[in-house]
Amino acid sequence: MTQRAPEAILWDFLRGALMTRTLGVVADLDIAGALADGPRSVDELARECGADADALHRFLRALASDGMFSEVEPRVFANTAASDFLRDPGERAFAHLFGGAWHRAVGDLDATGSAAFPRTFGADFWAWLARHPDERAAFDVAMEQGLESRVRRLDSLDWRGDETVVDVGGGNGSALVELVRRRPHLRGIVFDLPETVRDESAFGARVEFVAGSFFDRVPAGDVYVLATILHDWDDERATAILRTVRRTARSDARLVVLDSVIPSGNEPDGSKWLDLLMLTLFAGRERDEAQWRELLARGGFEPVRIEDGLIEARCR
């Protein structure tokens, strides 16, 4: 538990929207990238990126007061270890989304249990992304964050070696391409909406892309991976996705779900906040162990392993 003063805890909640939005603006201006070679004056940065120098100074001063950038001399800023992360395209894309479209939708979040995003933008998140290719590209880049841990989890499974792995909602295919590179006898099918931004020329001979909706069908395989898919959907829709997979899966097929398992108690855990992002965007949710067991059973599966970030199941 945190030892901070109660007033400081309250203040952090009150200013949270300003922090998120400010970071998003500064990430869009790529200030961290502009500071890659060392400290620079805010006036020079502002000229280069077309910002108002006074506004940029106020943004960076506030961010620096919390360790994001550092004012090393009056009006001269440098990266800190935290702001340096924004040079990574995935982190920058997340800052863009959190501080942009997601921030606007969070402004409409309420306690009705319905998704805010469609109220804010007049379309569900996936349809909106399809109409905004730049945002779709940013989303796909952001999703590559955590790629290494996703691949490590997949690689740790007990592979027979010659299976066909179907990455259901596999996005730009990067996880499957890397898994197949590490496991040379596996074949892979990335299944997703047609508008995902991907480079199929880099997929190699053993991975193919199949376009479609997991509410209609999924391609046949031996192992079905659902990586950060089910948390995007409420129980009814998540059950429908599992049932689509179950309809196609042979009885000896395996299901692998990469999603959080919310721990009980007050301990800080990213999944407790991401749960609210899922509610905002899709009326989706993160789930605890009991909720996973119930969902899998409704979808026609039986868990054989449930740990945070990795759930394995077989057909019932």
Ligand X SMILES: C[S@@+](CC[C@H](N)C(=O)[O-])C[C@H]1O[C@@H](n2cnc3c(N)ncnc32)[C@H](O)[C@@H]1O
Catalytic residue numbers?
Answer: 231
**Contacts with ligand X: how many residues (CB under 6 A)?**
16
User: Among 118, 169, 188, 284, which residue sits at the site for ligand X (rule: CB under 6 A)?
Assistant: 169
Only segment of 25-33, 70-78, 213-221, 246-254 that touches ligand X (CB under 6 A) = 213-221
Our CB check for ligand X shows the closer of 227 and 256 to be: 227
Our CB check for ligand X shows the closer of 196 and 239 to be: 196
Smallest gap from residue 66 Cβ to ligand X (A): 28
Residue 51, CA distances (Å) to 5, 87, 157 in order: 36, 19, 49
Which of 22, 32, 18, 29 has the alpha carbon at shortest distance from 51? 29
Q: Whole-angstrom Cα distance, residue 256 to residue 167?
A: 9
Only segment of 65-73, 84-92, 165-173, 202-210 that touches ligand X (CB under 6 A) = 165-173
Name all contacts of 123-131 with Cβ < 8 Å and 24+ positions apart.
124/282, 125/281, 125/282, 126/193, 128/101, 129/195, 130/193, 130/195
Our CB check for ligand X shows the closer of 183 and 231 to be: 231
Smallest gap from residue 31 Cβ to ligand X (A): 27
User: Among 24, 99, 100, 171, which residue sits at the site for ligand X (rule: CB under 6 A)?
Assistant: 171
Contact residues for 143 (Cβ-Cβ < 8 A; gap 6+): 90, 171, 172, 228
Our CB check for ligand X shows the closer of 22 and 172 to be: 172
- Using CB under 6 A as the binding rule, whether residue 99 contacts ligand X is answered as no
Only segment of 45-53, 55-63, 107-115, 228-236 that touches ligand X (CB under 6 A) = 228-236
User: Among 163, 192, 259, 286, which residue sits at the site for ligand X (rule: CB under 6 A)?
Assistant: 192
Yes or no: say if 297 and 315 are a contact pair by the CB < 8 Å rule.
no
- Using CB under 6 A as the binding rule, whether residue 170 contacts ligand X is answered as yes
**What angle do helix axes 42-49 and 53-64 make, rounded to 10 degrees?**
120
Which residues of this protein are in contact with ligand X, per CB under 6 A? Answer: 126, 143, 150, 169-171, 192-193, 196, 213-215, 227-229, 232
